[in-house]
A = this chain, B = another copy of it.
């Protein structure tokens, strides 16, 4: 609609500012919410001031948790197939004579932590997967609009008014990627064969250069990076806090020519006196080197003089560190340099809960741990189902406060870890136990191991809130801000009561993501990783561990639970909009522990566990069994989830795969209360 002044004016539910990984994740996960009914489809727009996506360089490590999320969106397989897989970390330290030697090998991903392991693939490909996924799930309704600059932001009663302007091609060109190549003959030999499906997307805006538009959004998500316009528009109280260190590092993506034996391993190398080096092997024969630049130091202002930093200087430092091994290259894909620093915003969202910030806009740190992109994407993944379900009228707006309490805490932990790790990695190794100024290599290894768990993204443990029923102080277990301390709708439970509930499923810690083990479909015997059934489609899930369904007492318990579940006054029917399928907002999934071949889906399980549809018959995809498969072994899910095989239990899972509630089959009323605190029933 047009405003009086002739400026185009449009309404949207969600406006995403910035189309890097955090913004694209926001758009993708909103596109996936189409399965959840609403009176009208969510209107979502995503704008970016740059005119093209990223095609090389930049962040590239993908954590286990990011891959689990990608899988819940449907494209982990593309990343898994193209990426380099990180299997082993080798540590190299000076021996007694000061020569580097391999001192340790450890698995890159802790064994058993996830069904995925850490992989490396450049950001441009990840953006490609997101763009394809957004296209597929939004049916083309959501497209990245490039070359669009926001100019003002005004938070009103109902909506946020964002004024934007279309840039000229020249203004929108992204900062030039600084490449260095020894040989001029970049003749195609080196070109990736993986990018056959990569292309520049059509810009769908129909504005002329310089034209203005006013976007009235119910929610705005700022994913516009470390120099976030959105953050600045919210005011100085959102500014990043923290400071830079003296450590300056270079980064190069090259195809190495070397006799260093572990060039295809992730390596942490401490030289005796020439600084440290991290090796990250990548796809297409590339290797990323993070190289400490001891010769470059900050000036009086605390910033390094970037003009002095050349590829020759960076690579010379790498050659010194790697001695006596030789390293050279003909092809360099990308290079840059950075000064280590950790900064965080005091607040991740405006008190109105209409404007949110995610990713680099609210936390920055060193790139070596491969955390930045992952934590950023996980920020917006945490946020968007909440925003989307509130916008659809499914969830109570109070859940929006959990964004800051959950994600700012993760950023705090990350910054604390990065601070410690950077100092240990940038420090000179201790010559012996008497060398107090040097860094103890044992301490470094310990930090590395701890960092490895942290880096998987799987140690995240959300505190108590309306969404997570556990004991403890919401402030302490949140981001320790007033916002966390004053969370609305926190479910009360004593430590003792919570311990008893948690004991029902020790392998499913409340507040953490559901780990995955293989179970079989009861109807067709196909093995599935259980996590594969927890798609990011905006639905909550009730997982009924039905136990030994062949035992008559247990069968009665299951029946009693299902009777309440099917009741018109129960949360399941109450949450289901008129005319929608009963699994539209909350999906009930069952895992039982009897023998598959001794049980029958249609006769042993109450109808509500495999709902009937007059046009498509029974639902064969909701009941699973913890039993041996023919070809893929035995998931042993009850054992691994720590659930009693006879009596089972009930678990509520959030749309983002985090455990929200655990109880007995008799605890239906508490489960009812859990959902009443979250949903608009």
Chain A residues proximal to chain B, CB less than 8 Å: 77, 81, 84-85, 87-88, 105, 107, 109, 111, 117, 136, 183, 189-190, 196-197, 255-259, 261, 263-265, 281, 285, 330-331, 521, 523-527, 597, 600-603, 614-618, 620, 629-631
Copies of this chain, complex-wide, total 2
Query: Which residues of B lie under 8 Å from residue A190 when comparing CB positions?
Result: 615-616
**Contact between A630 and B597, CB atoms less than 8 A apart:** no
Which residues of chain B have C-beta atoms less than 8 A from A107's C-beta? 630-631
Q: For the complex formed, measure the closest distance between the CB of A332 and the CB atoms of chain B, giving whole angstroms.
A: 12
CA distance A521 to B117 in the complex (A): 16
The chain B residue with its CB closest to the CB of A620 is B264
Task: Evaluate whether A258 and B524 lie within 8 angstroms (CB atoms) in the complex, with A111-B630, A631-B109, A631-B117 already known.
Answer: no
| Residue with the highest number of chain B CB atoms closer than 10 Å, among A196, A256, A257, A525 | A525
Interchain CA distance A322-B77 in the complex, whole Å: 40
Residues of B within 8 A of A526 (CB): 85, 87
Residue of B85, B263, B330, B521 near A615 (CB, 8 A) is: B330
User: Can you spell out 11 A-B residue pairs with CB atoms less than 8 angstroms apart?
Assistant: A77-B81, A87-B629, A88-B525, A88-B630, A111-B631, A257-B614, A257-B615, A259-B602, A261-B601, A285-B616, A330-B615
CB contact between A616 and one of B257, B259, B600, B618 (< 8 Å): that residue: B257
The 8 Å CB contact of A136, one of B109, B111, B196, is B196
Instruction: Determine the distance from Cα of A331 to Cα of B614 in the docked complex, in whole angstroms.
Output: 11
CA distance A258 to B183 in the complex (A): 69
A234 to chain B, nearest CB (A): 38
A264–B183 Cα gap in the complex (Å)?
60
Name the one of B189, B600, B617 contacting A257, with C-beta atoms under 8 angstroms: B617
Contact B616 A255 (CB under 8 A): yes
User: Besides the contacts A87-B526, A330-B616, what 7 more A-B pairs have beta carbons closer than 8 Å?
Assistant: A87-B527, A87-B630, A87-B631, A256-B617, A285-B616, A285-B620, A330-B615
Task: Report the separation of the CA atoms of residues A526 and B527 in the bound assembly, to the nearest whole angstrom.
Answer: 24
Quote the shortest CB–CB distance from A142 to chain B (angstroms). Answer: 14
Q: CA separation between A88 and B631, bound complex, in Å?
A: 11
If A111-B631, A264-B523, A281-B524 touch, whether A189 touches B87 (CB-CB below 8 Å) is no
State in angstroms the CA–CA spacing of A81 and B75 once bound together: 11
**Most chain B CB atoms below 10 A, which of A81, A84, A523, A614:** A523
Q: What chain B residues lie within 8 Å of A81 (beta carbons)? A: 77
- With a cutoff of 8 Å between Cβ atoms, the chain B residues found around residue A117 in the complex are 631
Q: With the chains together, A107 CA to B88 CA distance in Å?
A: 37
Q: Check A615/B525 contact, CB under 8 A, given A87-B630, A136-B196, A196-B136.
A: no
Q: Which of B77, B264, B600, B629 contacts A77 (CB 8 A)?
A: B77
- State the Cβ distance, A400 to closest chain B Cβ, in Å: 30
Task: Known contacts A77-B81, A617-B256; decide if A87 and B330 are in contact (CB<8 Å).
Answer: no
The distance from the CB of A495 to the nearest CB of chain B, in whole angstroms, is 36
Residues of B within 8 A of A630 (CB): 87-88, 107, 109, 111
Of B257, B264, B285, B600, the contact of A261 (CB 8 Å cutoff):
B600
If A107-B630, A615-B183 touch, does A265 touch B88 (CB 8 Å cutoff)?
Answer: no
Are the CB atoms of B616 and A525 closer together than 8 Å?
no
Measured CA separation A196–B138 after assembly (Å): 11
How far apart are the CA atoms of A601 and B257 in the complex, in Å?
14
Q: How far is the CA of A105 from the CA of B190 in the complex (A)?
A: 53
- Which chain B positions have C-beta within 8 A of A85? 524, 526
Q: How far is the CB of A616 from chain B (nearest CB, A)?
A: 5
B189 and A615 contacting across the interface, CB-CB below 8 Å: yes
Q: Please, how many angstroms separate the alpha-carbon atoms of A330 and B612 in the complex?
A: 14
Output the least CB separation between A196 and chain B (Å): 5
Cβ 8 A contact of A617, one of B183, B258, B615, B618: B258
Give every chain B residue within 8 A of A84 (Cβ-Cβ): 524
Q: For the complex formed, measure the closest distance between the CB of A115 and the CB atoms of chain B, giving whole angstroms.
A: 9
Complex interface: chain B residues within 8 A of A255 (CB): 615-617
Report how far A109 CA is from B527 CA in the complex, Å: 14
Beta-carbon contact of A602 and B261 below 8 Å: yes
Distance (whole angstroms) from the CB of A65 to the closest CB of chain B:
16
Say how far A126's CB is from chain B's closest CB, in angstroms: 18
Contact B617 A87 (CB under 8 A): no
- A617–B264 CA distance with the chains assembled, in angstroms: 12
Q: Which residues of B contact A87 (CB under 8 A)?
A: 524-527, 629-631
Instruction: Tell me if B524 and A264 are in contact (CB < 8 A).
Output: yes
* A77 partner residues in chain B, CB cutoff 8 A: 77, 81
The complex places the Cα of A138 from the Cα of B549 at a distance, in Å, of 55
Residue among B259, B265, B614 making CB contact with A524, cutoff 8 Å: B265
Q: Pick the contact of A525 from B256, B265, B523, B597 — CB < 8 Å? A: B265
Task: Name which residue of chain B comes closest to A116, CB basis.
Answer: B631
| A258 surroundings in chain B (CB, below 8 A) | 617
**A376 to chain B: closest CB distance in Å?**
26
Shortest distance between the CB of A109 and any CB in chain B (Å)? 7
Name A74's closest neighbour in chain B (CB-CB): B81
How close is A230's CB to chain B, nearest CB, in angstroms? 32
Min CB distance, A450 to chain B, in Å? 18
